[in-house]
Amino acid sequence: MTVEKTRIDTLVVGAGQAGVAMSEHLGRLGVQHLVLERNRIAEAWRTGRWDSLVANGPAWHDRFPGLEFEGLDADAFAGKDQVAAYFETYAKKIDAPIRTGVEVLKVERNEGRSGFTVQTSMGLIEANQVVVATGPFQRPVIPPIAPQLPGITQLHSADYHNPRQLPEGAVLVVGAGSSGVQIADELQRAGKQVYLSVGAHDRPPRAYRNRDFCWWLGVLGLWDAEGVQPGKEHVTIAVSGARGGHTVDFRKLAHQGITLVGLTRAFDQGVVSFEANLAENIARGDENYLALLDAADDYIARNGLDLPEEPEARHMLPDPQCLTQPILELDLAKAGVTSIIWATGYSTDYSWLKVDAFKPDGKPQHQRGVSREPGIYFVGLPWLSRRGSAFIWGVWHDARHIAEHIVKQRTYFDYRDAAQREAAAHCDSNVQKLGVR
């Protein structure tokens, strides 16, 4: 192992999309920097997604401003490997100083002097600033209700790759955000009996009146919303770009053969119980869907846009039996359930970051990514500055703000008072007299 001690102005930790965007802006502003990545560029897109995953947004939207997806129709949805390749190409294009295979093990503020000492798997680094771009989705979260049941395969959606991975038998998918819904759909299409546990969710139309929902969120200013609406803190968003993209419609999934159940409450001796809130969750999701159609119609009328009417978008399929007579308890063995997939989200891990940048609950305390510990920045987190922050489209803009903040702060660090300026000038002239220059 090479041991080295390097001085760097700004160290970026992580080379997913957030780290690549950071590097672009720092480079453009002339900030000397280094990006360290413990795996490969865009590793989450390579190995942290199931095989068939495509981006949730179309190629014209889910990208950085400086590069289009090569060989992909603008309205198509990039596959996970195409997204990974995109960021690899992007990093080359901007000549990003990325070192892969290097893990950052510890970051500590220096005592009695400015900057940070960073322990890495390749040695020590001294940095004036550290930008944490380690991602919003680091540690798969499985809730404590998960049972210890012999004979039942349990995995988090982060470890799901394809239906062949699961044993024969029915599957319970817990969580119906974008991951849970798409995995449940894929498993049902592969011939499995699937139970899908549905909590509170938003479900925008995939497209309406010839425009993708990404476009609608943009023109309606919703990507730029600065905070979660009160009461929506635990609401997931169910969208899908699979099979060319379609609206997530829970009634359609049920008519297709998936059994919908409410929020998973508890497991007791092989019996799982569900909250009696399925109808309410579906109704709230419908409200969210219809509200976007209304806002879109309103926008079209106000701006006199010539976009085709789409009244059929408001037609709902009849309620399936699992919605009118919801299952509240399921004996897993009797139902033949042999696997459970937990599509229940992720948390972060900052155990390596020994700085004063966190709230009592362990979450970063920051304003638009500028933390309360001077010199420590976060980028890529959900709602860092707005709704778009954790997405490909949004992170690039947040990274620009952070890079500009780093440059702005330099004005203060570089300031010298009159006496210091005079001393520096004196020193300079002595150096010249000695003929050192």
Ligand X SMILES: Cc1cc2nc3c(=O)[nH]c(=O)nc-3n(C[C@H](O)[C@H](O)[C@H](O)COP(=O)(O)OP(=O)(O)OC[C@H]3O[C@@H](n4cnc5c(N)ncnc54)[C@H](O)[C@@H]3O)c2cc1C
Query: Residue 58 and residue 244: Cα distance in Å, rounded?
Result: 9
Which of residues 248 and 337 has its CB atom nearest to ligand X in the complex? 248
- Residue 355 near residue 376 (C-beta atoms within 8 A): yes
Query: Residue 128 and residue 376: Cα distance in Å, rounded?
Result: 9
- Residue 398 near residue 389 (C-beta atoms within 8 A): yes
- Report, in Å, the least distance between residue 360 CB and ligand X: 23
How far is residue 335 from each of residues 157, 193, 279, 339, measured CA to CA in Å?
Answer: 22, 9, 22, 11
Among 26, 31, 84, 104, the residue binding ligand X under the rule CB under 6 A is 104
- Report, in Å, the least distance between residue 82 CB and ligand X: 11
- Report, in Å, the least distance between residue 57 CB and ligand X: 5
Q: If binding is defined by CB under 6 A, does position 369 make contact with ligand X?
A: no
Q: If binding is defined by CB under 6 A, does position 217 make contact with ligand X?
A: no
Q: If binding is defined by CB under 6 A, does position 176 make contact with ligand X?
A: no
Enumerate residues 6+ apart whose C-beta is below 8 A from 9: 31, 32, 33, 127, 128, 129
Q: Which of residues 134-163 bind ligand X (CB under 6 A)?
A: 134-137
Stretch that binds ligand X, among 55-63, 242-250, 290-298, 419-427 (CB under 6 A): 55-63
Among 18, 130, 261, 355, the residue binding ligand X under the rule CB under 6 A is 18
- Report, in Å, the least distance between residue 347 CB and ligand X: 12
- Measured distance between the N- and C-terminal CA atoms of the chain, rounded to whole angstroms: 38
- Report, in Å, the least distance between residue 33 CB and ligand X: 14
Among 8, 11, 31, 36, the residue binding ligand X under the rule CB under 6 A is 36
- Residue 237 near residue 56 (C-beta atoms within 8 A): no
- Report, in Å, the least distance between residue 182 CB and ligand X: 8
Among 391, 396, 399, 402, the residue binding ligand X under the rule CB under 6 A is 391
Buried residues in 263-284 as b, exposed as e (16+ CB within 10 A)? bbbebeeeebbbbebbeebbeb
Phi-psi region for residue 348, left (φ > 0), alpha (ψ -120 to 50) or beta?
A: beta
How far is residue 48 from each of residues 43, 45, 157, 242, 306, measured CA to CA in Å?
Answer: 7, 6, 9, 17, 41
Q: If binding is defined by CB under 6 A, does position 52 make contact with ligand X?
A: no
Q: If binding is defined by CB under 6 A, does position 285 make contact with ligand X?
A: no
User: Chain centroid to CA 81: how far?
Assistant: 16
Which of residues 242 and 261 has its CB atom nearest to ligand X in the complex? 242
- Report, in Å, the least distance between residue 187 CB and ligand X: 16
- Report, in Å, the least distance between residue 160 CB and ligand X: 10
Query: Residue 339 and residue 230: Cα distance in Å, rounded?
Result: 35
Among 55, 91, 176, 322, the residue binding ligand X under the rule CB under 6 A is 55
Structure tokens at 190: 């592969």
Q: If binding is defined by CB under 6 A, does position 380 make contact with ligand X?
A: yes
Q: If binding is defined by CB under 6 A, does position 183 make contact with ligand X?
A: no
Q: Is 321 helix (H, G, I), strand (E, B) or coil?
A: helix
Q: Is 396 helix (H, G, I), strand (E, B) or coil?
A: helix
- Report, in Å, the least distance between residue 312 CB and ligand X: 26
Which of residues 133 and 171 has its CB atom nearest to ligand X in the complex? 133
- Report, in Å, the least distance between residue 87 CB and ligand X: 8
Which of residues 320 and 369 has its CB atom nearest to ligand X in the complex? 369
What is the phi/psi pair of residue 118, to 5°? -120, 120
Which of residues 243 and 426 has its CB atom nearest to ligand X in the complex? 243
- Report, in Å, the least distance between residue 14 CB and ligand X: 3
Q: If binding is defined by CB under 6 A, does position 44 make contact with ligand X?
A: yes
Structure tokens at 436: 């050192």
Among 13, 31, 125, 254, the residue binding ligand X under the rule CB under 6 A is 13
Binding pattern for the stretch 240-279 against ligand X, x by CB under 6 A and - elsewhere: ----------------------------------------
**Residue 385, amino acid:** S
Query: Residue 45 and residue 54: Cα distance in Å, rounded?
Result: 10
- Residue 19 near residue 132 (C-beta atoms within 8 A): no
Under the rule (CB under 6 A), what is the footprint of ligand X?
13-19, 36-39, 43-45, 49, 55-57, 62, 103-104, 133-137, 179, 352, 380, 390-393
